[in-house]
Amino acid sequence: MSSKPYIIRISSQKGGVGKTTVAVNLATALSFIGNKVLLIDSDFINPSIGFHMGVENTNTGIRSVLMGKSTLENAALTHAPTGIRVLAGEIHAKTHTPTKSQLDRLFSEINKTTYNFVLVDTPPGFFPEDDLKAFGEAIIVTTPEMSSATAATRLANHYDRIHLKHGLVMNRRKNKKYELHIKEIEEMYDGNILAVLPEDEVIPTSVAEHIPAYIVDPKSEFSRGIKELANKYTTKFGFEYDLKKDPDSGFFSRIIARIVGLFKRGN
Ligand SMILES: Nc1ncnc2c1ncn2[C@@H]1O[C@H](COP(=O)(O)OP(=O)(O)OP(=O)(O)O)[C@@H](O)[C@H]1O
Ligand SMILES: [Mg+2]
């Protein structure tokens, strides 16, 4: 693997399709496989990564780094059960639109680190003027609904125009007749389908417990899909799959994470 981190933008044109859920769990699965992972919340309006991961609220996060008030490493928090570093959003901060020079500085700091993967969770939509050259690729998340899928193709066209590689994750498949079939999405979307993830009860449970679904139930259908996706990325970059670290076999880390999560529940 190259020494620079591989930076993935987790995105969608339409809101509420599962970007944060995919970002949190892909980060977790990549980390259990043995990768060093940085997870960034760049949703300045509704930051929620900290909540999903169960890392403490803080007044130092991505905004402090962009404003030059803190370094990336000082502002990032460690997610104890996995070791993932989390650059969360400041919950009480004002909405912030980063300038190009602030983003350039952030990405140049990221490129000096030794993370294997940097996952950036984004707010819905895109800004045509966004400079996205820093990203290795973008994941576009969609649900099997027409409005979401057409929005995904519009975002794909935007990425094509700026020559940013992209792949699609279809989330919340319920296998209902009224849903778009993956074949229909394939016809609409001119690109690589990376994963099809089911609607799964493990997600609301995990959100309530502030523990990634991949830890709550690694055998759930959702976790299996995420694991396959993480394996694809890891294989692509030449890592060995480390069974010892996987929560499928890491019984104790799973128990500890759940105890910590239950303790935090309601906080
Ligand atoms: N596979 C799934 N199964 C069940 N519930 C899911 C699944 N994926 C996401 N959800 C639920 O859907 C809602 C939206 O998910 P999430 O917050 O990840 O979306 P988002 O795209 O990040 O939203 P936003 O655009 O507001 O940032 C949440 O309540 C989440 O728990
Ligand atoms: Mg989100």
What pLDDT is recorded for position 129? Answer: 62
The closest ligand to the CA of 172 turns out to be 1
- Which of the four pLDDT bands, split at 50, 70 and 90, describes residue 263? low
pLDDT score recorded for residue 241: 45
Residue 1 lies in a domain: no
* Ligand 1 pocket test, candidate residues 10, 11, 20, 143, most atoms within 8 A of CB: 20
Q: What distance in Å separates the CA atoms of residue 232 and residue 219, rounded to the nearest whole number?
A: 18
Output 106 or 252, whichever has higher pLDDT: 106
* Lowest-confidence region among 38-42, 175-179, 250-254: 250-254
> Domain range holding 63?
6-251
Judge contact between 113 and 1, C-beta under 8 A: no
The pLDDT of residue 104 is above 60: yes
Instruction: Give the mean pLDDT of 207-214.
Output: 97
- Give the per-residue pLDDT at 259: 67
Ligand 1 proximal residues by C-beta, below 6 Å: 12, 15-21, 43, 46, 124, 171-172, 197, 199-200, 203-204, 207, 222
Q: Which amino acid residue places its CA nearest to atom 16 of ligand 1? A: 18
159 belongs to a structural domain: yes
Tell me which ligand sits closest to the C-alpha of residue 11. 1
Structurally, the chain folds into a number of domains equal to: 1
Q: Tell me what pLDDT residue 152 has.
A: 97
User: How high is the pLDDT of residue 256?
Assistant: 65
pLDDT confidence of residue 235: 87
DSSP H helical ranges for the chain: 19-33, 49-53, 62-66, 72-75, 100-111, 146-161, 182-188, 202-209, 213-216, 221-236, 251-264
Asked, for residue 150, whether it belongs to a domain, the answer is: yes
Residue 84 falls within a domain, yes or no? yes
Task: Identify the residue with better confidence: 188 or 254.
Answer: 188
> Is residue 168 one of the residues assigned to a domain?
yes
What does residue 206 show for φ and ψ, rounded to 5 degrees?
-70, -35
Give pLDDT, residue 243.
45
Kindly state whether residue 261 falls inside one of the protein's structural domains: no
Q: Does some domain include residue 198?
A: yes
State residue 28's pLDDT score.
98
Distance from C-alpha of 206 to C-alpha of 254, rounded to nearest angstrom: 13
What's the whole-number mean pLDDT along residues 239-263? 58
- In this prediction, residue 131 carries a pLDDT of 72
Could you tell me the distance, in angstroms and rounded to a whole number, from the CA of residue 117 to the centre of ligand 1? Answer: 22
pLDDT single digits (tens) 16-43: 999 999 999 999 999 999 999 999 999 8
Distance, in Å, from the CA atom of 67 to the CA atom of 222, rounded to the nearest integer, reads: 37
More confident residue, 221 or 90: 221
The pTM is what?
A: 0.91
Say how many Å lie between the CA of residue 69 and the centre of ligand 1.
Answer: 31
CATH number of residue 202's parent domain: 3.40.50.300
Q: Please give the number of the atom of ligand 1 that sits closest to the Cα of 15.
A: 25
Q: pLDDT tens across 47-57, in order?
A: 999 999 999 76
Nearest ligand for residue 152 CA: 1
Tell me whether residue 260 is in a domain. no
Q: If pLDDT is split at 50, 70 and 90, which confidence band does 244 have?
A: very low
Distance 240 CA to ligand 2 centre (A): 31
Q: Are 148 and 19 in contact (CB under 8 A)?
A: no
Atom of ligand 1 at shortest range from CA of 199: 3
Q: Which atom of ligand 1 is nearest to the CA of 207?
A: 31
Can you tell me the mean pLDDT for 145-174?
A: 96
% pLDDT > 90, the chain:
74
